[in-house]
Chains A and B, each alone.
Chain A
Amino acid sequence: MKLYNDGMNPHDFVRETTRAAAALFAFGAANALYAAAVPTVPDTMQQRVAACASCHGAHGEGLPGDVKIPRLAGKPAAYLLQQLQSFQDGRRHHAPMEYVVRQLSPAYLQQIADYFSAQQVPFHPQPVPATSADALRRGEQLVHHGDPARGIPSCESCHGSTLTGVQPLMPGLTGLSYAYIQAQLDAWRTHQRSSDGPGCMTVVANRMTVGDVTAVSAWLASQPPPANPHPLPASAQTEPLPGWCVVGNEEARR
């Protein structure tokens, strides 16, 4: 549009400027309307994984209360990826989770696992279930010393002395709810969860009694959050794992 040129009379000039202003105003107004109607979408991982956040918390911090939905934030990325693949491949079961991860590629799952692994958010304090002092003592015993008579190694020997997990595939046992821990131990006992082929937790959980499951879940859930929540480096695993413990999905994948 021409704003001013030689030979334009003042009347024309006023008209042209008004027109320009009107056009600009209209454009701006249209823009404002457009902005109001069309949401702008942040190009971030956080925005992409809104579905996950609706169950696992905005940053994967988990939910308050005694729920069966676990925290994801800060867990070893390789562990998170392994578990996501287990939901895809039918080694772990939870229908809504299975549906939500079904359409995702290995590369995208890796990015999502990395994203949640990198989140640093405080733990929710877990509600402490009503449990007898005897049971809590039994739980603590299992965590620190296991039960050699029944062939149960201490939880610590695999999950790390701080119970915050060990890179790359060992998850922590801190910040998990009573309901979740118990549900997982039950899932291994009923062979509903088998992310690592025949080894590790299937063996551990099946050597425990029902009372042991309650006891250890209650003790773990009643611990205060660790000062340093990070998983230990791989070098922290100094003792070799028992022969029946195959970490990872290799066995199940053939």
Chain B
Amino acid sequence: MKRWIMGAAGVLLLAVIGVGAWLFVPARAPQVVPAQAQADAAKLHDPALIERGAYLAKLGDCAACHTTRGGAPYAGGRPLTTPFGEVSAPNITPDAATGIGAWHFADFWRALHEGIGRHGQPLYPVFSYTSFTKVSRDDALALFAYLKSLPPVQQPARAPELQFPYSVRQGLVAWRALYFQPGEYQPDPKQSPEWNRGAYLVEGLGHCNECHTTRNAFGAMDEERRLAGGQIPAQSWYAPDLSMQPGGGLAGWSQQEIVALLKTGTSTKGSAFGPMADVVRLSTQHMNDADLAAVAVYLQSLPPRQPVAAAPVVRASDHAHGGELYAKRCADCHGDNGQGVAGTYPPLDDNTSVTEPTGINAVRSVLLGGFAPATAGNPQPYSMPPFAQSLSDTEVAAVVNYVRQSWGNHAAPVAAGDVSRLRHTPVD
């Protein structure tokens, strides 16, 4: 499950301000010109538009949140865990009573673009409208046409289970005033069309920021550090920095390697796991080659990052202990020097998932093992055994610190206590 940080208003005070704001600022009804509404409605049955909408829905990964495990696609019900409680994604199949069957395009546009529900209520930003607001009106219409073409499924939405004051929806009014600026993507005329397409996908529909950017205590993204990496709270995974420039999380990656990772789930630099494996399997593997290339071009343009301060080095005896474990348990697959086997086993040397600042990803990889996602480009991925049963907290920390501080890696060590905590983190 995607456990998202949820940007709800953080304190009671904000909720109070919110209620005040709600009392005094009347909710706007969508302003639609009737002729425009008719023109939109007429287009909804166009098979080409529906097909484009199906593709865009993959890029937006709408099904990932709006489908419960084992449930009908887009029929909702999946609880999304946030530090403030759970919000379930609603049914967006065209069922009149429980889905979007009775919606007009103006309602849908307002939800996607402004994060406002059909009854004028502000929506919780666990729904990634903070990114989707950049989606163009044409693309939104295609998405709507596609959703309207799905078989309707009757499945009522589940009420959010949030702690007070986050449970007060109107508290979001204040949060939105502080942290949310609706607005379609504006192309940068100084950049190529390809770069602009990439920016639109990364910052908008693909909502990469929702995971790859650090959030503040109120669950809002730090605008200064877009795509510079962030821990996904309540979920305990770290989505690394996506800069490909010196000091960046993907320094040394070529555009080809980015494309390989997003398309197949694996690359010579590393493979996708945890929430990124879901993203690849459900979304990016379905991107066409032009869009994949555009994403890589855009990531290539992210700025270089400040080098991080030198990390403390573990005791020599601990390093040696980790090295013994590595030779016995890991080297068969990842190689004596952490070089991996291209296309089969990811390298651990110079791998951003190994060296990301928190160490969470490496610890959880060792505890959980698993397969890279099975994709059209890599239909039979190889696997890593979980070591949760066979290695103690101290041993996991030792071997993780060994790989974090060997070869070209110089990342800060993790403690056995971190391992113990991460052992009990839910996997879904």
Residues of A within 8 A of B (CB): 36-39, 41, 47-55, 88-91, 95-96, 98-100, 102-105, 107-108, 111, 252-254
| A53, A54, A99 pick with most chain B CB within 10 angstroms | A99
Cβ contact of B374, chosen from A41, A95, A100, A103, cutoff 8 A:
A103
Chain A hits for B331, CB < 8 A? 39
Residue-by-residue, is B374-402 near A (CB-CB < 8 Å gives 1, otherwise 0)?
Answer: 11000111111110111000000000000
What residues on A are CB-neighbors of B389 within 8 Å? 55
Q: What are 10 sample pairs from A and B whose C-beta atoms fall under 8 A apart?
A: A37-B337, A41-B341, A47-B382, A50-B382, A51-B383, A51-B384, A55-B386, A96-B386, A105-B374, A108-B380
> In the bound complex, how far is the Cα of B426 from the Cα of A107, in angstroms?
27
Interface band, chain B: 35 or more
Known: A41-B341, A51-B370, A98-B427. A107 touches B379 (CB 8 A): yes
Partner pick for B382 among A41, A102, A104, CB 8 A cutoff: A41
Given A37-B337, A41-B341, A103:B388 Cβ within 8 A: no
Describe B's contact surface by its main secondary structure.
Answer: loop
Instruction: List chain A residues, Cβ under 8 A from B380.
Output: 48, 108, 111
Q: Which residues of B contact A53 (CB under 8 A)?
A: 385
Is the beta-carbon distance between A89 and B69 smaller than 8 angstroms?
yes
- Give the complex CA separation of A235 and B370 in angstroms: 38
Q: B368 near A88 (CB under 8 angstroms)? A: no
Please provide the 5 A-B residue pairs with the shortest distance between their CB atoms, ordered closest to farther. A89-B70, A54-B385, A51-B383, A90-B69, A103-B373
- B residues in contact (CB < 8 Å) with A: 69-70, 72, 265, 277-278, 281, 331-333, 335-337, 339, 341, 344-345, 368-375, 379-386, 388-390, 426-428
B411 to chain A, nearest CB (A): 23
Once A99-B370, A103-B371, A105-B374 are accepted as A-B contacts, the answer to whether A39 and B341 lie under 8 Å apart by CB is: yes
Please tell me which one of the listed residues A37, A50, A99, A103 contacts residue B339 in the complex, with CB atoms under 8 A apart. A37
* Complex: A252 Cα to B372 Cα, angstroms: 28
A101 to B369, CA, bound (A): 11
Give the nearest-CB partner of A40 in chain B: B341
A51 lies within 8 A of B371 (CB)? yes
**Complex CA distance for A98 and B379, rounded to whole angstroms:** 19
Is the pair B386, A100 in contact by a Cβ cutoff of 8 Å? Answer: yes
Give A253 to B72 CA distance when docked, in angstroms: 8
Q: Write out the residue numbers on chain A whose beta carbons fall within 8 Å of the beta carbon of B375.
A: 105
Q: A38-B339, A51-B371, A91-B70 are in contact. Are A103 and B281 (CB under 8 A)?
A: yes
CB distance from B360 to the nearest CB of A (A): 15
The contact of B335 among A37, A49, A88, A91, by CB within 8 Å, is A37
